[in-house]
Amino acid sequence: MLLLNATGALGQEKYKSYCNSRHDYCIVYPGSLVLQTNSGSGDGDSFVSKDGQATLTVWGASNAVRADLETNYASAMNGKRITYKVLRKNWYVISGYTKRNAIFYQKTVLSNGVFKTCFLEYPRTQREVYDKTCKVIGASLTP
């Protein structure tokens, strides 16, 4: 795991970089989120807002069973109310509401036999703050 400060900012929000060397991916995330867990396996990490209401989880998972992206995409939608979805050759995005009625955004990329995922969840009351953040985080996770 590698954490770096990003020089760019969207509005007033400053972003940091998180890189995972085990699964070879990086994302940018809001500097206001704090590292909550460091997975012992090295697959990924979780970040939480200072008020504890928003969480960002990032992880990589080896595609040992050789599942295709479409199967992973369909599985990711289970138990959620989807309001936005897009499936491309080597990545997908889904967004909507969880069972707890929180907003979520997920982007998954399949690259070199690894599913690389970022999952952001936040309350509806913080939509204005995090809807913009989703675009920045998602754009940073690339194949």
Domains and CATH numbers, the chain: 2-140 (3.40.1000.10)
Residue 18: its pLDDT value, please? 94
Give the dihedral sign, CA 42/138/47/4: positive
| Residues 107 and 139 sit within 8 Å (Cβ to Cβ) | no
Asked if the model's pLDDT at residue 11 lies above 60, the reply is no
CA 55 from chain centre, in angstroms, equals 9
- pLDDT for residue 64 is more than 50: yes
- Residue 42: pLDDT band with limits 50, 70, 90: confident
Whether pLDDT at 35 is above 80: yes
What CA–CA distance (Å, rounded) separates 95 from 103?
7
Confidence grade of residue 79 (pLDDT, cut at 50, 70, 90): very high
Distance CA 29, CA 31 (A): 6
Mean pLDDT, residues 110-117 taken together: 95
- Cα-to-chain-centroid distance, residue 31: 15
